[in-house]
Amino acid sequence: MKLIINGKDVETDEAHTVTELLKEQKVKWPDMVSVELNGTILKRETFASTGLNEGDKVEFLYFMGGGRESD
Amino acid sequence: MSLTEQQIERYSRQIILKEVGGPGQEKLLASKVLIVGAGGLGSPAALYLAAAGVGTLGIIDYDNVDLTNLQRQVIHNTSDVGREKVASAAEKIKAINPDVTVQTYRERAAAANIREIIKKHDFVLDGTDNFPSKFLINDVCYFEKVPFSHAGILRFDGQMITVLPGQTACYRCVFDKPPPAGLVPSCSQAGVLGPLAGVIGCLQATEVLKYLLGVGELLTDRLLIFDGLGLQFREVKVTRNPDCRLCGQEPSITELADEEQAACDLKASQ
Ligand SMILES: [Zn+2]
């Protein structure tokens, strides 16, 4: 199935749900990622039950800190 | 307030812009902007906002300047190592532009103190490096309806979004709550290329000036993602999330609280 993940065309193998996609795409810390599907931010509890369709636009959004810092 | 001859000359290169002009410059001089964190993002932002003549700059930072800061926190000099960051930053700002009134807060941003500080300002620039602070700024700004610029940087990447509380998507609309302690690497663990702070901090300063002047299109309802290695900007549309626990339809956050953070994470991100 062809998806657009973070702006890039990606051909997926087996993934039919968001949870499976996170696994297939080897997202390191799935608990740390916000997922937007076709413009809507998904609730984490629905990752496993949310199905994917050909051409879906998926965004994996990562936490990013930075800025002020001291050790 | 009317501009002096000196001010007209000092700010001439932006007064000449039709989007600024004399009235715009007067607006900037009458504005109050709070910079939370005098670090990687706060440094370039403070320098440019001072140079542009934002009349009052508030700076919150609890820390002292450390040698490891100098690689990217360009408001501090080698001779400042060991000094309070707020004192070091205030000195540079005054040196660049004596028109600017600097108010320093040598405090940690916490639920107990930050609300009173934020509500005195027209705009907040989030230059913090840790998630509890970022969520706290988001929440306070929502309750006080103060617009702010959120940003983060790590390694070669940066991202940012501008929030008009109650009108556009907030940080929690996208990122529900702080990540589990210790899971996200901080700059001290993962590193960051210095100019990344400059790129993103200057974009934040641009948003501040646009907001104060009421010109252009703010980075609202769009998360800007910058990839320094590929030198690419990407934008992800975001919308207000009806399930947002802060600004959604049935908010569960109705008063201010500090987000919990485990001790190990606290050490990494302070
Ligand atoms: Zn929200």
A53-64 pLDDT, tens per residue?
A: 999 999 999 888
Q: Is there a contact between A41 and B173 if contact means CB atoms under 8 Å apart?
A: yes
A6 CB neighbours in chain B (<8 A) are 234
Q: Are B10 and B96 a contacting pair, CB within 8 Å?
A: no
Q: Is there a contact between B183 and A64 if contact means CB atoms under 8 Å apart?
A: no
Question: Measured between CA atoms, how close is A2 to chain B, in angstroms?
Answer: 19
Cα B123 to averaged position of ligand 1 atoms, centre (Å): 18
Q: Which helix (H) or strand (E) holds B148?
A: strand B148-154
CB-CB: which of B61, B127, B153 is closest to A64?
B153
In sequence order, what are the residues at sequence separation of 6 or more whose Cβ sits closer than 8 angstroms to the Cβ of residue B99? B7, B10, B29, B53, B55
pLDDT by residue for chain B (270 residues), tens digit each? 689 999 999 999 999 999 999 999 999 999 999 999 999 999 999 999 999 999 999 999 999 999 999 999 999 999 999 999 999 999 999 999 999 999 999 999 889 899 999 999 999 999 998 889 999 999 999 999 999 999 999 999 999 999 999 999 999 999 988 877 666 666 667 789 999 999 999 999 999 999 999 999 999 999 999 999 999 999 999 999 999 999 999 999 998 887 765 433 443 333
Q: Give the predicted TM-score (pTM) of the model.
A: 0.92
CB-CB: which of A31, A61, A68 is closest to B39?
A68
Please, what's the largest Cα pairwise distance for chain B? 55
Catalytic residues of B: 187
Question: If you search the block for the tokens 């009108």, which residue do you land on?
Answer: B167
| CATH code of the domain made up of B31-237 | 3.40.50.720
Cα B186 to averaged position of ligand 1 atoms, centre (Å): 24
The interface pTM score, or ipTM, of the predicted complex is 0.85
Chain B residue nearest residue A33, CA to CA: B175
Interface of A with B (CB under 8 A): 6-7, 29, 31-32, 34, 36, 39-41, 43-44, 59, 61, 63-71
Question: Measured between CA atoms, how close is A57 to chain B, in angstroms?
Answer: 11
Phi-psi category of A30—alpha, beta or left, where left has phi over 0 and alpha has psi -120 to 50?
A: alpha
Assigned token pair, A63: 């936490």
Domains and CATH numbers, chain A: 2-62 (3.10.20.30)
Chain B residue nearest residue A68, CA to CA: B39
